[in-house]
Structure 1
Amino acid sequence: MTVVVVVVGAGQAGVQVAASLREHGHAGRVVLVDTEEPLPYQRPPLSKTYLTDREPAEPTLRSAAFYAEHGIELRTGTRVRAVDVAAGVVTFGDGADLRWTDLVLATGSRPVPLAVPGTDLGGVLPLRTLADARRLRALLPSVRRVVVIGGGFIGLEVAGAALTSGAAVTVLEAAPRLLGRSVTATTAEVLLAHHRRWGIDVRVAAKATEIVGEHGKVRAVRTSDGDLLPAELVVVGIGITARDELAREAGLAVDDGIVVDAGLRTAHPHVYAIGDCARFPGPGVSTVRLESVQNATDQAEHVAQAIATGATAPYGAVPWFWSHQHGARLQMAGLTTGTDDTVVTGDPGKPAFSVYCFRGGALVGVESVNRPADHLKARKLLAEGRPVRRTEFGAGPGVTAGRLSREERS
């Protein structure tokens, strides 16, 4: 029987699993499929240096020669229309079928659409793909006023890029604070003050209710408090959702992501899901879906080893994330959902500090701003898995602590 691994999705996770299969000695066919036309590329630079550098490098993950040299059949501009898990077959958009012995779903995610009038106007853009970034980069030098809808990582990074290009920037965040799903209230408040000091008009608890246009182009954004904010460019970044419809249509379990076990397998033992689209058992939580390069890369390595060598160990990498925002280098390790206690070290005013997050007395995550040594130490502590108590941080100058309110924990 011919051994064929089909990987659906050529983002960070998909490319890494294909490369790692070869590294672990897999000798069968590896077919890497993606709907986008360009060579597979990195997403993190798209909201950062790609928008601001005079001559940005193309953010490709691997050269075309790499795929040829490693016997990876790269099929860009190709859609997988259906998956038959019982027969072990994928059907492409042109009707052709391909049998597989193992299938890896690395289908990624898509932006959540903004449900207000005017999103179809010229100058209203999401930022998810390389094509989005190219359009945004082309527009930024010619606009004077930019409104960013969404105060998450992408929104804040784009706001910084727009400010660097010389535009006046307003950020609208519907929630009571920035980064509400990602960081503690302490870190969110520091970053809010940081962006405002740079001159970005950041508004929390402020919703966009309408995008107003003229002659088919955006001219302003109307807010929930009645303001009309002039804008020649509006960037929408209110979140992303898993691309799990292919799995759902195949009869696999989905729940805001493709449900997998501790080995990243679906209910079918030869069908895996990794990266943004996968919902897996997380450390200290029931299940979680993570959107980060580290998670995509580590899960890809885990699955490649399982396919190539038959390894059965559960996936257990410590999650970590990062974001660069106008000189504030935010790094996070672990998962802080449900945090009920914190210890803050350093000086949030600089800003240069870390927030050590506890749940039930145990360390579950650390947020560091401009403290890279703290971040590396946190990753090591969490990987070791030994109990770390708040008393280890002691007391004194530069150390504050406090129980979180219910609002701060949510």
Structure 2
Amino acid sequence: MRLVVVGASLAGLRAVEAARRAGHTGEIVLVGAEEHLPYDRPPLSKAYLDADSDGEATVFRDEASFRDELDVDVRLGVAATGLDIEGRTLHLGEDSLDYDALVIATGASPRPFPGADELVGVAALRSLDDARTIRTALDQQQRIVVIGAGLIGSEVAAAARKRDLPITVVEAADLPLTRSIGPDAGLACAELHRAMGVDLRLGTGVDALESEDGRVTGVRLSDGQVLPADLVVAATGVLPSTAWLAGSGVTLHERDGGIVTDAALKAADGVWAAGDVLHTRLENWTAAASQGAAAAKHAIGEDPTDWDDVAFFWSDWYDRRIQMLGTADADEVRVIHPGDTGDDVARGFLALYRRGDHVVGALSIDRPRDIMKFRRRIADAGAWDEAVAFAVERVGLAS
């Protein structure tokens, strides 16, 4: 049985590892569009941008490990271009690759920003090459404008301020990360940015990118102001990398193009999918790893008993660690501890999220030991009142 995993991502890596751990002895092929071996993406917008970073990505496994330990045929720099489900064939440009079972883990790509493709000096931050571009701009103390105050945009801002460089972040919403963490936590994040010297423009749209001779020179805002820029970081979200699946028979969601699967991550006959390529993606490290392993086990006929579907993400801003468990799609957000003020703005913030009578999420700033206490409660759809009482007991009175 030949298992093919397309996407040399974290989800793809965990898929091949899980298949071998589960006892699969057949051929495994891992196909990746980038020239790089699977590497850890979260540090690219964090430690990698630091001035004292060595400029090297953290590679999960070297070539020898893939060859000798996992017996995996790794094919890099090869993008998938089509899929024949009936014939069980993956198309790779002029070449093709037959499979018995396929796991799709092609992840997501930055959402296109209008006018950016024709200009030099506009970057997203999704890949190692993107991170190198932004790090070079920081090293050269270039003028940087970030569009989008989500996790990636905020981490770029934090990297700039850590170097004592000026930076402007433009966000169309009234608060950062409102859809991801809710308005209360979003307000704490906005206060943190401003306390650290970020020029944060909330409720402000971008009309166009200014340019000269094919290179970006600034960002024209909806109020008519132009912000000078040598580099514009477009941190406006991602879309699943599924264009190559058009017409294949794999169901793509009409809104975002993400792969629609059943509860077992099955997308079609002989095809499973995992990670950010899904319509129901959680866009975080742990979900991608867990889903990749689960999809591979389903693909080889095993039960993925270790599948953890509690979403978890973290983000490093300045000297703060922001952590989120579960979801902010809730009926109520209860701030248990509002965080400190003054120079310690947002430190110690803790909030819980309720849907119905159950706790479905928890967010903290600089409470790493406390936040993980809620993982099991969220996984088990624990009682809301019990979760609040537990939180109050640990950290004090609710606000």
Q: Could you tell me which of 344, 350, 359 is aligned with 2:355? A: 359
Is the CA contact 2:30–2:72 (under 8 Å) kept in the aligned structure 1?
yes
Aligned position for 1:273: 273
What does 1:202-351 align with in structure 2 at a 5 Å threshold? 202-255=200-253, 256=256, 257-268=258-269, 270-279=270-279, 288-311=280-303, 317-345=309-337, 347-349=339-341, 350=344, 351=347
Aligned position for 2:369: 373
Over 3 Å counting, the alpha-carbon distance change for 1:176 and 1:71 in structure 2 is same
SS at match of 2:57: coil
Question: How far is the alpha carbon of 1:195 from its aligned partner?
Answer: 0.9
* Structure 1: distance between partners of 2:43 and 2:317: 13
Once the two structures are superposed, what CA deviation does each residue of 1:116-153 show, in whole Å capped at 9, x if it has no partner? x4663322211111111112212222234211001110
TM-align CA RMSD? 2.1
Aligned position for 1:178: 176
Q: Which runs of 5+ in 1 are unaligned?
A: 280-287, 402-410
* Structure 2: distance between partners of 1:139 and 1:32: 33
Question: How far is the alpha carbon of 1:34 from its aligned partner?
Answer: 1.0
Over 3 Å counting, the alpha-carbon distance change for 1:58 and 1:250 in structure 2 is same
- The range that moved more, 76-85 or 161-170, is 161-170
Once the two structures are superposed, what CA deviation does each residue of 1:338-357 show, in whole Å capped at 9, x if it has no partner? 33242423635342121011
Question: How far is the alpha carbon of 1:384 from its aligned partner?
Answer: 3.6
Matched letter for residue 12 of structure 1: L
SS at match of 2:264: coil
Name the count of aligned residue pairs: 388
* Structure 2: distance between partners of 1:332 and 1:395: 18
Question: How far is the alpha carbon of 1:193 from its aligned partner?
Answer: 0.7
SS at match of 2:349: strand
Matched letter for residue 352 of structure 2: Y
* Structure 1: distance between partners of 2:140 and 2:388: 54
* Structure 1: distance between partners of 2:163 and 2:117: 23
How does the TM-score come out when normalised to structure 1? 0.89
Residue identity over aligned pairs, in percent, reads 35
Aligned position for 2:101: 102
SS at match of 1:266: strand
SS at match of 1:258: coil
Question: How far is the alpha carbon of 1:314 from its aligned partner?
Answer: 10
* Structure 2: distance between partners of 1:122 and 1:162: 20
* Structure 2: distance between partners of 1:249 and 1:313: 33
Aligned position for 1:65: 64
Aligned position for 2:165: 167
Question: How far is the alpha carbon of 1:167 from its aligned partner?
Answer: 2.3
SS at match of 1:342: strand
- The range that moved more, 41-50 or 337-346, is 337-346
Is the CA contact 1:263–1:312 (under 8 Å) kept in the aligned structure 2?
no
Question: How far is the alpha carbon of 1:309 from its aligned partner?
Answer: 4.7
Is the CA contact 2:169–2:201 (under 8 Å) kept in the aligned structure 1?
yes
Question: How far is the alpha carbon of 1:61 from its aligned partner?
Answer: 2.0
Aligned position for 1:85: 85
Over 3 Å counting, the alpha-carbon distance change for 1:398 and 1:82 in structure 2 is same
Matched letter for residue 369 of structure 1: I
Over 3 Å counting, the alpha-carbon distance change for 1:27 and 1:75 in structure 2 is same
SS at match of 1:368: strand
Aligned position for 1:388: 384
Aligned position for 1:9: 7
SS at match of 1:61: coil
Once the two structures are superposed, what CA deviation does each residue of 1:261-291 show, in whole Å capped at 9, x if it has no partner? 11111132x2101000113xxxxxxxx3211
Over 3 Å counting, the alpha-carbon distance change for 1:78 and 1:381 in structure 2 is same
* Structure 2: distance between partners of 1:319 and 1:170: 30
Over 3 Å counting, the alpha-carbon distance change for 1:232 and 1:97 in structure 2 is closer
Question: How far is the alpha carbon of 1:297 from its aligned partner?
Answer: 0.4
Q: Which runs of 5+ in 2 are unaligned?
A: none
Over 3 Å counting, the alpha-carbon distance change for 1:245 and 1:394 in structure 2 is closer
Aligned position for 2:194: 196
SS at match of 1:160: helix
* Structure 2: distance between partners of 1:205 and 1:169: 17
Matched letter for residue 223 of structure 2: D
* Structure 1: distance between partners of 2:152 and 2:333: 27
Over 3 Å counting, the alpha-carbon distance change for 1:228 and 1:175 in structure 2 is same
* Structure 2: distance between partners of 1:324 and 1:190: 14
Question: How far is the alpha carbon of 1:316 from its aligned partner?
Answer: 5.3
How does the TM-score come out when normalised to structure 2? 0.91
Aligned position for 1:134: 132
Once the two structures are superposed, what CA deviation does each residue of 1:22-51 show, in whole Å capped at 9, x if it has no partner? 111110111000111122222111111111
Aligned position for 1:285: none
